[in-house]
Amino acid sequence: MRFNLFRQSDIPEKYRSNFINLYLDIAWFGVLSGTAVNFLNVYATRLGASGFQIGLLTATSAIVNLFLAIPAGHWISKRHTGKAVFWSSVLFRIGYLLWIPLPWLFNEQGQIWSLIILTFLMAIPLTPLGVGFNALFAEAVPERFRARVAGTRNITFAIAYILTSLIAGFILKNTDFPGGYQIIFVIGAFGAAMSSFHLFHIKPLHEDLIAPLSAPIPVSDPRPVPTRGLKAVLRLDVWRSPFKKVLLALFILHLAHYLSNPVYPLYYVRVLNLNDGHIGNGTALYYLSVLLASTQLGRIVHRFGNKRVTGWGMAGMATYPIMLAFSHTIWEFYVLSFLGGFLFALINGSYANYMLENIPPDDRPAHLAWYTIMFNFAVLASSLIGPVVADGIGLIPALIIFGVARTAAGLILLKWG
């Protein structure tokens, strides 16, 4: 087996700068994710947040995205994609700086609600960032290199995430609460700034609009596209195209995926009695597995296709919540973390490319805006439903049910997506 994902000698010179900056962008995002983002829900749990409040940390962002996704897609379509993505990222990531002084300003409940409010405000620029980045990725990376670049981004993200989550766990274990969290919030904010720096240097190529590298994507019968008015903004015609099936399948997939997320920190802290060091070790193992799986992502996708890898990967991810429900020791948690990372790598490296394969190259912002709406609707629903179900039937039965839902979602995508 040859490890050649980072090799650039076979890549045309005109693509190399974009690819390198895409790798460095995700590496610094891994620093942010391994520190501030990784431990946000754990921090809120240690402050005394309820399952409902933890769900709100995600749900508030999803609510904003639901309302702003279509206007954001319309806004992106009329601007230089790279510049729009960069400035959206800057405005969004300023919010991470405001996490740092919260322990000096508020008591426990005040900090929890401040974090919820800040995530709500950060979601405003996050919406065009989310819509625009997928479009920028498609414009900056030719189709024949997308699986490879996605796999390499998974690897760089995993390396950064592993190292910083271990460092964060060490800092939290050896620093008094809440000072340790303030330190990792500082590290995360620096990673966010560096990620935006590299986003600035990613330039759209627009090659796919001039000389497509694959057969044209089938679309519905030709129809007049309105040029102004409400219909032009809403772009309801997307729902009359074959992309409708992709939107519905990905909605179900994301809903099933995120149902268990608000339950995990509660189970880690209240049932497994994990400390911050244990959680840091678990996430490091998770992304070590992501790294190893990502080295083979290109070959797996080439053999089975993005749709099959996404569907079977999601069905397989049912093993994490189901087996976690029967786990009672730290070592079981570690083994599951490693297994879960392998399956996550398959989905994370293939679902976006599966979606892009079904979007006309000259009309990405509108399609991606509708995907953003469906994604955030799924996140919102799962963030509210997950804690309610767990409170009603208990953490263990909820995790089992959520695992079964993941299998069903994967099979639905394979059958009808």
Confidence of residue 206 (pLDDT cuts 50, 70, 90): low
265 and 41 Cβ atoms separated by less than 8 Å: yes
Residue with the larger pLDDT of the pair 213 and 416: 416
SS3 state at 392: helix
Query: What percentage of the chain exceeds 70 in pLDDT?
Result: 91
DSSP string, 217-254: PP--S--PPP-SSHHHHH-GGGGGSTHHHHHHHHHHHH
The overall average pLDDT reported for the chain is 83
The per-residue pLDDT for 9 is: 63
Which among 32, 18, 26, 25 is positioned nearest to 291, based on CA atoms?
26
pTM reported for the whole predicted model: 0.69
The per-residue pLDDT for 145 is: 82
DSSP string, 322-391: HHHHT--SHHHHHHHHHHHHHHHHHHHTTHHHHHHTTS-GGGHHHHHHHHHHHHHHHHHHHHHHHHHHHH
371 pLDDT higher than 50: yes
Residue with the larger pLDDT of the pair 199 and 150: 199
Confidence of residue 8 (pLDDT cuts 50, 70, 90): low
Give the domains, in start order, of the chain with CATH numbers.
13-205+239-416 (1.20.1250.20)
Confidence of residue 7 (pLDDT cuts 50, 70, 90): low
The per-residue pLDDT for 10 is: 67
- Cα–Cα distances (Å) from 257 to 79, 262, 358, 402, 408, in that order, read 33, 11, 22, 8, 11
Residue with the larger pLDDT of the pair 282 and 232: 282
Residue with the larger pLDDT of the pair 178 and 220: 178
Burial of 214 (0-12, 13-18, 19+ CB in 10 A): exposed
Residue with the larger pLDDT of the pair 206 and 254: 254
Q: What is the pLDDT of residues 108-132, one digit of tens each?
A: 999 999 999 999 999 899 888 887 8
The per-residue pLDDT for 300 is: 86
The per-residue pLDDT for 213 is: 35
The per-residue pLDDT for 226 is: 41
281 and 381 Cβ atoms separated by less than 8 Å: no
105 pLDDT higher than 50: yes
Q: What is the pLDDT of residues 214-271, one digit of tens each?
A: 333 333 333 334 444 555 556 778 888 888 999 999 999 999 999 998 888 888 888 8
The residue-averaged pLDDT of 270-296 equals 82
Q: Which long-range contacts (CB under 8 A, 24 or more apart) does 47-53 make?
A: 47/108, 47/109, 47/111, 47/112, 48/108, 48/109, 48/112, 49/112, 50/387, 51/262, 51/263, 51/266, 51/386, 51/387, 51/390, 51/391, 52/387, 52/388, 53/112, 53/113, 53/116
CA dist 234 and 345 (Å) reads: 33
The per-residue pLDDT for 384 is: 82
The per-residue pLDDT for 72 is: 79
150 pLDDT higher than 90: no
149 pLDDT higher than 80: yes
Q: Of 86-95, 157-166, 361-370, where does mean pLDDT reach its minimum?
A: 361-370
211 pLDDT higher than 70: no
209 pLDDT higher than 50: no
SS3 state at 256: helix
